Amino acid sequence: MNKCPISDQIFNLLIVITSILLILLATLYPFNFSIPDSFSLPDFFANFNNASNFQDQVNNFLLFMPLGFGFTRLLLQRRIKTGVQVFIVTLVSAGLSFTVEVLQIFLPSRMPTPSDIMNNSIGGFLGFICFYLWNIQSFKNTVAQIENSRASRSIKQIVVFCIGYIFLTFLISLLWQNTINLSNWDANYPLLIGNEQTRDRPWQGYMS
């Protein structure tokens, strides 16, 4: 039985760790957590009463695909059965997504969305599918090579994955930029700071 090279093990872990860090950065930045003085279970569920649009769904798919890809590669290295791989990848994606959504409750600039958990789980599953599609193509391209060329093949796979990963990250950034616009801004809508429109309920505080 041939064991995977140490470099492949490190690369697989690097994919998973980098994917998790990218997800945390994209979903929790700027990390300005604020814990309220009183917090109850009804408040917890009330904060999940948000909806996501189509662009958010696409972003979630793309954001979790690298995690599903890297985790599948890691599980395959440990000779985990395909059915178990699907379960683990989906469970890890859903667990990480649920953790992120809970943490977003304590971020004033974020709105947790229940559908994001499902979308992110699907994104991880799509990463699982992409790995096997990519792995089949890689096998077809290298089936005629001799055993000594395995290291060269691994390098080519790493290069191809890095290029694809950079492309996906760039695509995600473009989609996020497109979601930021003021097309629905109402110029006649009053914007008041420090008081209500009736001017009889001022408040004292600060904004950052």
- What is the per-residue pLDDT for 146? 37
Rounded Cα distance, 89 and 103, in Å: 21
Query: How many other β-carbons are positioned within 10 Å of the β-carbon of residue 42?
Result: 8
Q: Is residue 84 part of a domain?
A: yes
**Interior/surface letters 192-206, b for 16+ CB within 10 angstroms, e for the rest:** eeeeeeeeeeeeeee
Residues 6 or more apart in contact with residue 13 via CB below 8 angstroms: 74
Print the domain residue range for 147: 6-179
Residue 151 has which token pair?
Answer: 């290291």
Position 92, amino acid: V
Question: How does residue 89 score in pLDDT terms, banded at 50, 70 and 90?
Answer: very high
Query: How many other β-carbons are positioned within 10 Å of the β-carbon of residue 3?
Result: 8
**Total domain count, the chain:** 1
Q: Is residue 208 part of a domain?
A: no
Average pLDDT over residues 175-203: 60
- What is the per-residue pLDDT for 144? 45
Q: Tokens 């953790």 label which residue?
A: 99
Q: Is residue 154 part of a domain?
A: yes
Q: Per 3-state DSSP, what percentage of the chain is helix, strand, and coil (rounded to 5)?
A: 65, 0, 35
Best CA proximity match to 123, nearest among 45, 22, 7: 22
Q: Is residue 185 part of a domain?
A: no
Which range, of 50-54, 63-67, 118-122, 174-178, averages the lowest pLDDT? 174-178
Position 119, amino acid: N
Q: Is residue 206 part of a domain?
A: no
- What is the per-residue pLDDT for 198? 64
Q: Is residue 49 part of a domain?
A: yes
Q: Is residue 198 part of a domain?
A: no
pLDDT tens for 6-17 read 677 788 788 889
Question: How does residue 142 score in pLDDT terms, banded at 50, 70 and 90?
Answer: very low
pLDDT tens for 18-28 read 889 999 988 88
Q: Is residue 83 part of a domain?
A: yes
Query: How many other β-carbons are positioned within 10 Å of the β-carbon of residue 116?
Result: 26
* Residue 47 in this model has a pLDDT that exceeds 90: no
Phi then psi dihedrals of residue 51, to 5 deg: -120, 160
